Structure 1
Amino acid sequence: MVKTSFAAIAVILILSLSSSCIEDGIDSSPSSQPVFSVDTLDMGHYFTGQLTPTSRFMVYNRCGKVLNISDISLRGESSGLFRVNVDGYAGVEFHDVQIRPGDSIYVFVDAMLPANSDPRPVTVEGHVDFVTNGVTSTVVLKASGQDVVRKNGVEVVSDETWDATYPYQIFDSLVVAHGATLRLLPGTKLCFHDKSYMRVYGSLVTEGVPGAWVEMAGDRMGNVVGGIPFDLMASQWDGLHIAPESSGNRLSHTIVRNTVGGVLVDSLAEADFLNCRIRNSAGYALSARHAGVRLVGCEVADASLGALSATGGVIEANHCTFANYYLFTAPRGPVVQIYHYSPGSDDSSGLPYLKASITNSILYGLGTDFSVGDLSGTDVVLRSCVMKSAGRDDENFVNCMWDTDPMYAVVREEYIFDYRLADVSPALSHADASLTLPDAAVDYWGCPRFPAPRPGAYQNSPE
């Protein structure tokens, strides 16, 4: 009992002395101030009327003693827009926050940005003031708010035209009914929320132009972590499904990205794609099942299962880049895959075998470039294409450049996925101008291809 009492007294004395040392060790000099990881916390660009993701900054004590921040507070109107959490505690004001020598605390910030009644993004600022030893330091908070038109479970039942005045945020679904046409004017942006999808039974017409592309993408902005932007992340929304027998679909200068299943053109449907970028899918970037698909000047790239999957139907591809440097898994199949193209690949559908013409295009990326199989006697022909495979020409592969790295401007480790060709690419002059379709005379960026068209989707090189 005596030993236990002495031990208890000893513990009390140690704690008391420790507390006394900490108290005595507080630095009260006005010159002793916290150090901040940022002067201005730029939270990025978000839609108004909904809570932003959480941003953060750090507050360091570089002094030799404990630093006591007597007051931390949001200044004035800041408290109506921004919310802060200091080292695990939420509030508007915080008092006597102590930081030990060499230690730090986190400050977390989010915001609810008000509607602007303005088509342009509007930047708002707030201020977090830190008072330490009678001196006030300030971290500026900055966020940009974009008004948005929200659509939840929308069905277009008659012809509609959507413009680029505001982005459209799609929840649940966007469906174009039989007999209806949805027309998207230059610069229109459709931003799909998690698990939402678009299905077209009628017709979809997009009228993007160079510099005012139509975009269909996930609704998350900024970076996932570090330097990885959400633009590169697949599985943000389910994707675009052009339903069986849908016709009149014409997509021009349109970007479709961040999907679970990419773009699917289903049985007996028809779709034309001009200078489009279809990319970043957890499945295939583009699938065609017994459908009629025309691709001119398109980039089809970066998907877990492969860039293009074509089963039966009719495929025409001119000046396209089929590439796969998908970031998050090793590609599970060739860049371009074909099925139901011969009796040996029959899928028992009873529908015609694949008829495919791929010209002045590039098939190159991680893994293999093209499905393995005997094309003899089939209607699958590649002309003047740049191939990764070390093959040779025959009646199905005509004037192809084999075993050649086209030298994309891709720097995967820096998250740069630019499929334009470097000026020193060995493939620059391989395209056959006589095969360049009239629609392909100008590329995605508005660059004329003539008089010396390059293979693939892009005529210009990165600066």
Structure 2
Amino acid sequence: MKTLLRIVFILTVLSASVGCIEDGIDTSPSAQPEFSVDTLKLGVVFTDEPTPTSRFMVYNRHDKIINISNIALRGGDGSFRINVDGFSGTSFQNVEIRPKDSIFMFVEATLRPNGLPELTDFNDVIDFTTNGVTRSVVLNASGQDVKRIHGLVIDSDTGFDAVYPYQIYDSLVVASGATLTIAEGAVLHFHDKAFMRVEGTLVTEGTPQRPVNMAGDRTGNVVGDISFDLMASQWKGLTFAPESRGNRLSHTIVRNTVAGVTADSLSQVSMLNCRLRNSAGYSLTGRYADIRLTGCEVAEAAEGVMALIGGKAEISNCTFANYYLFAGLGGASVQLYHYDGESDDGSGMPLLEASFGNCIFYGNGTDLSPGDLEGSKITIHRCLLKSNGSDDANFIDCLWGEDPLYYTVRNDYYFDYRLQPGSPAIGAGYSALVHEEGSRDFYGVDRGPNPNLGAYQAAKEE
């Protein structure tokens, strides 16, 4: 008897539970869907190209089915497209959502060229009509017109202005005997597998107010808060071919590459207040080249931020920092090769002559590649190193085993190599080691008589 009563009780409870959620359609005007966003922002995209697909959720918070009698784009200019729970179209009728359930809405757009160098906002609205009541979600995207380049070879002196960004597909090559001059504020976006090769001469005229930017052409976030701006391998990189001469880069940012910037045999490259970062290889490679770096940040690379193989390098007030996110580090931040009889690679090329002054070598992993520099023509003068060591003929007046106190917080995807108050690198540099052209840093701040070590004199703006 007790068992029978228990069964009856259980069935009664189950019946009551099921009764709370009915399969009937709620026709009350108050039975409305809810949305995970009020406005869906698709971000900044290039015109005439499809955006990445974005999505939002439509929820039924009620105890009965709701029937959305009509879902439709209001009109706009036809840039936006929608997909309702797996079905594409511009309007949908009688879409039912079961009690306490939800559906996905997917949105993408192809924005028409706007004929303006400025960003232009594009908007549309998705209307949801349920039980005679219409609710809406706003769609927004910003379109940027670009100049598209496919396999361009520059064979005479040419200038790139900053009116429109450039999008480079395949390749951009500066032929021998030609000079490409890139104006301050110019932006070059490189598509997947694209590259830039300089056989002649490259001059960039970036300024603190308007740097030159070379980066991948992906926008938005890869996932969560990780933006494509942090991702390597979006384009192959910038190469200075053998015997390319007279290259001068000022306030230029090169990022998102497979192989960073490469200065090949006997090429000549001078960089002032540049940032080279986010490479799947090295951010900078010098191979028997003549390199001059002043006030540069060389950072975030899987194999190491810089490799110098033979050649000549004059380096002042640079920051070498490796906090690469997406792979284990392949070696020391700065790697030196072909600098003495023991490291001679048999190429017959001149051994490395390198001077580092007022620099910082600090980040995850080892700062400098192992090796005895005694007898080499490499000097590291008044630099801060992560390693513990002592001065000798090659290491002069260095700060050993010190933390420069960057603002960088790797786990928060925040990379800022300016110095926090209390950093031992503040005011620790020697003015005699500052290159003449490097009296001001990337932000235009004067280094003065007591320069900081590293690339940045500027304090972080709070």
Structure 1 Cα separation of the partners of residues 427 and 451 of structure 2 = 7
Name 1:48's counterpart in structure 2.
47
Structure 2 Cα separation of the partners of residues 177 and 219 of structure 1 = 24
Does residue 29 in structure 1 map to residue 28 in structure 2?
A: yes
TM-score by length of 2: 0.94
Shift of 1:407: 0.8
Shift of 1:448: 1.1
The letter for the 1-side match of 2:142 is: S
Name 2:363's counterpart in structure 1.
365
Name 2:393's counterpart in structure 1.
395
Structure 1 Cα separation of the partners of residues 434 and 173 of structure 2 = 35
Name 2:353's counterpart in structure 1.
355
The letter for the 1-side match of 2:328 is: A
Secondary structure in structure 2 of the residue aligned to 1:367: coil
Of 424-433 and 214-223, deviating more is 424-433
Structure 1 Cα separation of the partners of residues 182 and 293 of structure 2 = 19
Which of 102, 105, 112 in structure 2 is aligned with 1:104?
102
Which of 133, 136, 142 in structure 1 is aligned with 2:134?
136
The letter for the 2-side match of 1:33 is: Q
Which of 72, 81, 84 in structure 1 is aligned with 2:82?
84
Shift of 1:436: 1.3
The letter for the 2-side match of 1:284 is: Y
Tell me if structure 1 keeps the 8 A contact 2:21–2:99: no
Q: Deviations over 1:171-226 (max 9, x none)?
A: 00000000000000001111000000000000000000012110110011111111
Does residue 296 in structure 1 map to residue 274 in structure 2?
A: no
Q: Deviations over 1:265-291 (max 9, x none)?
A: 000000000000000000000000000
Q: 1:461 to 1:330 in 2, by over 3 A?
A: farther
Q: Deviations over 1:325-364 (max 9, x none)?
A: 0010121100100000000001111111100000000000
Name 1:8's counterpart in structure 2.
none
Tell me if structure 2 keeps the 8 A contact 1:401–1:430: no
1:137-176 matched pairs, under 5 angstroms? 137-176=135-174
Secondary structure in structure 1 of the residue aligned to 2:104: strand
Which of 188, 192, 207 in structure 1 is aligned with 2:186?
188
Name 2:8's counterpart in structure 1.
none
The letter for the 2-side match of 1:132 is: T
Name 1:319's counterpart in structure 2.
317
Shift of 1:427: 2.1
Structure 1 Cα separation of the partners of residues 31 and 22 of structure 2 = 16
Tell me if structure 2 keeps the 8 A contact 1:22–1:66: no
Q: How many residues align?
A: 443
Does residue 125 in structure 1 map to residue 123 in structure 2?
A: yes
Does residue 424 in structure 1 map to residue 422 in structure 2?
A: yes
Shift of 1:452: 2.3
Structure 1 runs of 4+ aligned residues shifted over 3 Å read 20-24
Name 1:69's counterpart in structure 2.
68
Structure 2 Cα separation of the partners of residues 231 and 77 of structure 1 = 31
Give unmatched runs, 5+ long, in structure 2: 1-18
Give unmatched runs, 5+ long, in structure 1: 1-19
Structure 2 Cα separation of the partners of residues 42 and 424 of structure 1 = 41
Tell me if structure 1 keeps the 8 A contact 2:334–2:369: yes
Of 21-30 and 444-453, deviating more is 21-30
Q: 1:417 to 1:455 in 2, by over 3 A?
A: same
Structure 1 Cα separation of the partners of residues 450 and 61 of structure 2 = 62
Q: CA RMSD in A?
A: 1.3
Does residue 60 in structure 1 map to residue 63 in structure 2?
A: no
Of 399-408 and 22-31, deviating more is 22-31
Which of 444, 447, 450 in structure 2 is aligned with 1:446?
444
Which of 198, 204, 217 in structure 1 is aligned with 2:202?
204
Name 2:5's counterpart in structure 1.
none
The letter for the 1-side match of 2:168 is: I
TM-score by length of 1: 0.94
Shift of 1:77: 2.5
Secondary structure in structure 1 of the residue aligned to 2:454: coil
